[in-house]
Structures are given as structure tokens and as C-alpha cells.
Amino acid sequence: MSEAPSKSARTKRGIRTRNALIAGAVVVFARDGFLEARIRDICSEAKTAYGTFYTYFQSKEEIFQEVIMGVQQDMTTNDLMPTARSDAPWDLIEASNRQYLHSYRRNAKLMATLEQVATFNEDIRQMRIGLRSKFTDRNKRAIMRWQDQGIADPDIDPYYAANALGTMVDRFAYTWFVLGQEFEEELAVATLTRLWVQSLGITHEHHSSSS
């Protein structure tokens, strides 16, 4: 657990400096990864003295957690406001898949670093699980709602389905934006969405274009 920030860190100038360090860390972690990132380089990006870093953060791990909190906020805030054509399940799933791919693309380099660090740092592993859980919990609630409405197959376990289908989209995004395998966006979204709805037993009648 980090110590309480010093008085200087709580001033307006201190807040600006802290934010500059976080912004610098975003650049360095995205460029160099976690293992190769140096605090000196973060300070250089932030245009602050090396010693200033320790007024605000105790370690490279601590500032990386702050960076990942920003990634979480960006991905979950945007994903929770999909621009669906209607409230039909097919359209909601399509919009959510598209939003997730877009947010993953924006944060691809940091997501790659997060995957790396989560393999050996327990705090970061829990943050990765937390980010995943936000999407899994939302998807589980949607599946349960569609089951209650008689739209989705009632025999499918919503928790396992949410995990399996969410993993499909997440690893597809990783393969595309981190590993660099090329895909065409519209076909990718359409295919992921079809796999989602067919896995849940949702028929094409629950699509706005069919009405």
C-alpha cells in the first residue's frame, strides 16, 4: 500500500506535476514495456527532476498501477455507452463488440504491457482480473435478462457463457492489435457478433433490421 501523498503533492502545482508524471509514464510504458521502462525516462518525458518522482510515487510498479487505472476508466466508460441501433440483443452485442475493439485499439500497447506484468506481479494480476470482471459481470447480467425474456437459451450457464464469449472477443483483439494479425473491422465485428448470438441461441428475429 502506498503512503499518503506529501503536502507538496496535494497543491495545484503538485497535482499538475503528478499528472505530468503519469502522462510521461503512459508514453514510456507504451514504448518500452514494463521491464525496460526506467523512472529516469518517465521524468524526462514529464520534464521533471529525477528526485521529484519519489514525492509522488514509491516505485515504477506504483505509477504503472495509476496508468492502468486510466486504461480501465477509458475502456469501461466508453464500453458502457454503446451506440446501438436499437435495444435488440443482436444490435446491443454488435455495438458492444465494436466499442471493445475500438477501446482495445486505443490502448493496445498498454494492454500488451499489462498482460506481461500480470504474469509476475500479483497487484497487477488483480487489476487485470478486475478489468475483465467489469465486462464479464455486465455480459452475465445481459444474458440472464435475455434468458428471463425468453430470448436466449435458458439451459446455458450465464456466468460461463459470459466468460467464454468475452474471452473470445478479448483474445481476438489481442491477436489483432498486439500480435498484429490483420483483420477487416466490419467483417470482424459481424463475425464476433454472429458467434455471440448463435452461441446463446438468439435468433435473427431479435435484430432491428428484421423488423
Please report, for the domain that includes residue 54, its CATH number.
1.10.10.60
In the block, cell 516505485 appears at 59
Are 92 and 171 part of one and the same domain? yes
Asked if residue 196 and residue 182 are part of one domain, the reply reads yes
DSSP track, 185-201: HHHHHHHHHHHHHHHTT
Q: Is the pLDDT of residue 51 over 90?
A: yes
> How does residue 207 score in pLDDT terms, banded at 50, 70 and 90?
low
Stretch 12-18: mean pLDDT: 92
What pLDDT is attached to residue 209?
52
pLDDT for position 163 = 97
Q: Please write the tens of the pLDDT for every residue from 58-116.
A: 999 999 999 999 999 998 875 545 566 778 899 999 999 999 999 999 999 999 999 99
Q: How far is CA 33 from CA 110, 134, 206, in A?
A: 8, 25, 43
Same structural domain, 28 and 119: no
What mean pLDDT, rounded, does the chain reach?
90
Domain that holds residue 166: 64-210
Residue 1 is predicted with a pLDDT of 45
- Same domain assignment for residues 172 and 87: yes
Q: What is the pTM of this model?
A: 0.85
pLDDT at 205 over 70: no
- Mean pLDDT value across residues 42-62: 96
